[in-house]
Each structure stands twice: as C-alpha cells, then as structure tokens.
Amino acid sequence: MDVLAKATGTYLRRFMEERTNHDSLIFELNIMTNQKVQTLVEKARAEIQGLRPYQPGKPIDELAREFGLNPADIVKLASNENPIGPSKKAIEAMEQEARELTRYPDGNGFDLKEALCQKLSTDASPIKHGNITLGNGSSDILDFIVTCFVSKGDEVVFSQHAFAIYGLVTTIQGGECKVVPAKNYGHDLDAMAAAITDKTRLVFVTNPNNPTGTWLTHTEVSDFMAKVPSDVVVVLDEAYFEYVSEPYYCDGLTLLPKYPNLVITRTFSKAYGLASLRVGYGISAPEIADLMNRVRPPFNVNSFALAAAVATLNDEDYVAESKAVNDAGMAYLTQAFDEMGLPYIPSVGNFISFEIPKEIDHKPTNISASEVNAQLLANGVIIRPIANYEMPSYLRASIGTAKENETFIAKLKQILADARS
C-alpha cells in the first residue's frame, strides 16, 4: 500500500506540474495571440476605429431571453415595422419563388424595375429602368451614393436629429459630417443651403424625418433645390412617404426632371411590410444610377425580396389597410399622450417621438426617459430610446396594432404613476 500511495502521489505531482506548465503555456499563447490581433486591428482604417455598430431595436427573442418572458406576449414598437403582417400576395409570390432556390436572382431586377416604372411614372416625370437602382434596403442606396461621390475630406451636409446612417456611411468613406442645427425638430433648409461650401459633395434631406416625424412641403424642397449648386448631389430620403396625407407634402419625383443632381430613396420595409427581406430603391438621373450600379454588389437583392416587392407594390388594398391602421394608431397614441400630459412631436410617419418631462401638471415625474424605457422592457414592451439623436428626454414609439398600442399605453401609464406615487 505504501508503494502504491507513493506512486500515486508521484503521478499526481507530475500531473499537476504538467497541467500548470500547460496552463501557463496556453496563457502565454493567448497573450501573444491577443497582441497580434490588437496589432492587426490597429492597422484598420482610421475612419473605422472610432465607429460604433448601428444599434437596431432590440429583437423580441433577445428580450424574452433577458427577462424570461413569453415571446408571444412581447410588444415590439421599436423599429417602425408594419404591424399588420405581410401581404398575402407577397407570401404567395415567395412560395412560387421557393421552387427556384438553386438559381441566382435576377441581378438586374428587371421585373421589379418594370413594376416601379408602371407604378411611379407620370407624363411629367416618366421613370425608366435606367433611372432605378435596387438595394438591399434603401440604406444600401445611401451607401452607394456616398461611395460614388465622397472622398476623404469631402463634406456631407445633413440635419441634426436626422437618420444615424448618414453619419456612419460618410465617416466610413473619410468624409466630414456637417450637421446643421434642427429647426423645430426638423430641417432648417435655409441654414443647410448656407452650410454648403466648395468642399460639399452631398446633402441628405429626410422627408418625413426619422426619428422626429417632421415633414417638408413641395415649396420648401423646391426652393432649397434652387439654392444648391448643380455639382452637389441631394439625396431625398422618402422611406415613409406612403404614410403621408398632407396635401402640400413634397413628392420628390416631381422635382427629378428639373434637378439631375437629385436622388430619391424609398423602401419596401415600412408601408409594404417587407422589412426582413431588405429591399429598397433609388430614383435618379440615369448617369447617377449608372455610377451606383458600378459599386452595387452582384445579386444584392435576393429572389424572394424581388418577387415579394413586385407583388406588394401591386397590392393597393394592402397598402391602404396599412395606412388606415397607422392613422388610427397615431390618433390613439396622440390622444393618450395629451391625456397623460406628455409632450410629443407631431408626426406624419408610422412612429411618434414623445417626451418624459421633468414635471407633469407642476408635479415632478421622478423618472427619466431611459428609466421609463428600462421598465417598459422589463414589462415586455420594446420602444426606442433616442438619446443618440441628441434627444435624451425623448422616446420613439412605432405605431402598432390597436392591441399593441393599448398594451404600450397601459404599461406606460402604470410606470409613470408608480414613479409619482
């Protein structure tokens, strides 16, 4: 037994020594690997070093895991998605397309371009295939246009409180962001025109604006375009234009024949309910579309997206229902905010930004916007904090179904009441 115990002890000591040596070696290798990776990362372009990834609205499944919630009970009003679900015609088109999964999509997107030409053309502003650039969402088009026209040191002008992607794609190309202070949470077009210099290559105008929901009239945009030099590209981002009812709203297509430096971007992610498929488009002079198609990746829009977009574009009943649900939901939320004493920014999109003020009816609210957002998440409601848009006291909510809107307001009322009790 003594011999066995001694042998066992010797074995264990050697095992532990070898294990310690092995762990030390692994530790040293990890340090060396980390150092090499860090050296590699430091060689990345300087423009990328200071960037942060775009933060989308929190996914339902992620919130469910985080708080142990049933995904079916979660209300997501964070990403300006269409709450009524996709068009039945879109689903049917994708079922047909599934039979061709082994084939690459049409890289030119002929059918969708043809459908867009039929839908958008007027006698005063005819649209042809050569005017259209297809993208993996309209954010693709924003990226293409900056890639085509912006080099290191060039200036890109856009408004305060404008879509975060503008600054991101500009910085990636080495451009300089020239952010013009907002006017009543919207675009100050006179100040933006005055901000244009010899170094300006591009101007972004969002109509309606995200995240504030403000909008511009035809006269305002037309007068602005007249002030912009012809060698400066103006991108008119109209991601939410289908929701707008105001008679004086500017449809950018009416200005396209007069201003060849104008690029209009639109998407199928909102009113057309195809957010997960990622399909959008740009309308421009053929010469600009040709440039964008030179930098467009091959097959950037998949077959399902192309088929569903054509089907939904022609489903007028679906789009009408989407707008009707949005109008009713907007009326419900604004009335609720009025009753609760919460300031909000009038919006013509499918979302609305509202404030958590320090006081309501001269009584302290005792809670901040970020704290309200955190408690809504814990209660299974996802909306969007917009502190990154220099609006720390505001939150943005998408318009949902009647049930989703009611759940959101009920939870919000309870959170505010608890904070003030």
Nearest to 224 by CA among 212, 209, 206: 206
Contact 119, 164 (CB under 8 A): no
Domains in the chain: boundaries? 2-43, 60-82+317-420, 88-315
Going by the DSSP 8-state scheme, the letter that residue 249 receives in this structure is B
CA 278 to CA 302: how far, in whole Å? Answer: 9
Phi, psi for residue 176 in degrees, rounded to 5 = -105, 125
Q: What's the pLDDT at 29?
A: 57
Q: What does the pLDDT look like over 213-249, one tens digit per residue? A: 999 999 999 999 999 999 999 999 999 999 999 999 9
Q: What's the pLDDT at 17?
A: 59
pLDDT surpassing 60 at residue 317: yes
**pLDDT category of residue 52 using cuts at 50, 70 and 90:** confident
Side chain identity, residue 334 = T
Q: What's the pLDDT at 38?
A: 78
pLDDT surpassing 90 at residue 118: yes
Q: Beta-carbon neighbour count of residue 224 at 10 Å?
A: 21
Structure tokens, 315: 């489903």
Q: What does the pLDDT look like over 98-115, one tens digit per residue? A: 999 999 999 999 999 999
pTM greater than 0.85: yes
Q: What does the pLDDT look like over 3-41, one tens digit per residue? A: 555 655 565 566 555 666 656 656 665 776 777 777 777
- Architecture of the domain delimited by 60-82+317-420: Alpha-Beta Complex (3.90)
**pLDDT (average), residues 366-384:** 97
Q: What's the pLDDT at 53?
A: 80
Percent of the chain with pLDDT strictly greater than 70: 93
**pLDDT category of residue 48 using cuts at 50, 70 and 90:** confident
pLDDT surpassing 90 at residue 313: yes
Q: What's the pLDDT at 19?
A: 61
Average pLDDT, the chain: 92
Class of domain 88-315: alpha beta
Q: How far is CA 350 from the centre of its chain?
A: 13
How long is the chain? 421
For the CA atoms of 158, 163, 165, 168, the dihedral, rounded to the nearest 10 degrees, stands at 50
pLDDT surpassing 90 at residue 353: yes
Q: What's the pLDDT at 372?
A: 97
How are beta strands 384-385 and 394-398 bridged, if at all? antiparallel
Nearest to 333 by CA among 380, 242, 402, 421: 402
Can you list the pairs that 324-329 forms with residues at least 24 positions away whose Cβ atoms lie under 8 Å? 325/83, 325/84, 325/399, 325/401, 326/243, 326/350, 326/399, 327/245, 328/402, 329/83, 329/399, 329/400, 329/401, 329/402, 329/405
Which helix (H) or strand (E) segment holds residue 335: the answer is: helix 316-340
CA 296 to CA 262: how far, in whole Å? Answer: 19
Phi, psi for residue 75 in degrees, rounded to 5 = -105, 120
Q: What does the pLDDT look like over 239-276, one tens digit per residue? A: 999 999 999 999 999 999 999 999 999 999 999 999 99
Nearest to 372 by CA among 390, 363, 361, 384: 384
pLDDT surpassing 90 at residue 46: no
Q: Beta-carbon neighbour count of residue 102 at 10 Å?
A: 5
Phi, psi for residue 57 in degrees, rounded to 5 = -60, 145
